[in-house]
Amino acid sequence: MKRALRILFTTIILLSCTQPKTLKDESYSLEKYYELGIKKIDQTWEYKDYLTASKIIIKLKKESQESIPRKNSVDSGLLFSKLINDQALEVLSELELPDIELDRAEIYNNLVDIYIEPGDGYQPYNDECTEILTFGFKLNIKAYSSVLYAIDTAGIKENEEVQKIVEPMKKGLIRQSIEYIEGLETSQLSQKNIVINAVHLTEVFPSLFALLKPLEIELLLEKIESQSQKHSQKEVRRVLKNFLAQSGLPII
């Protein structure tokens, strides 16, 4: 159980996604990706299939930046979605898989290496960058929830050892949440993708709030409320205000 409770948290930095230059989509057909060894998307993937796919795509990128799956591509969009959809979230947050800490880390870090260039310069995959970072955040929330569930169902009483596992994870989530909220203003994303990130926030944060204590929720609500008042984009302010009003949560 102790081994199963260990889990990796990946830092999410919205600043990594900057205003893009256009990189044309020359991604392959699904059949071509299948020939290269990626499992068909209409089949059920196990964690090893995500790992294999990410390694193949890394190799493809080294050969041609335009050849990798893209979010809005007619040819490869479905494969990109497969990498980060709800099924991927379930598989990669499963606690009992062999070597899950290593594999989850490798799979997500591979996706980051594929779609997010280091530093704050040229980002050829701005749309994909937004989705990958949100997926990482959702994965961390799901994984933390799985740990809490495992503790509860195993009947483990809260003690110092359990706190050593749970508290750093929760603190990491809160820190990432603040980065996510503040990144709406400080990132150099395109205006469209900043709005998308705000929408993602409204979709993801309710599941996070269910895992936090009232004072921790209040801290994040204060950050969201601040952005809803001062953000430079009117649409972002509207999205955040609607979230605060419709969520049933108190507006600070």
Q: Average pLDDT for residues 46-68, to the nearest whole number?
A: 94
Predicted local distance difference test score (pLDDT) of residue 6:
40
Q: Above 70 in pLDDT, residue 121? A: no
CA distance 236 to 159: 42
Q: Above 80 in pLDDT, residue 100? A: no
- Out of 48-62, 105-119, 125-139, 198-212, least confident range: 105-119
Q: pTM to 2 decimals?
A: 0.83
Predicted local distance difference test score (pLDDT) of residue 5:
37
Quick check: helix, strand or coil at residue 163?
helix
Predicted local distance difference test score (pLDDT) of residue 62:
93
Predicted local distance difference test score (pLDDT) of residue 93:
80
Q: Which of 13, 220, 244 is nearest to 130 (CA)?
A: 13
Contact by Cβ (8 Å): 218, 176:
no
Q: Which of 181, 208, 195 is nearest to 14 (CA)?
A: 181
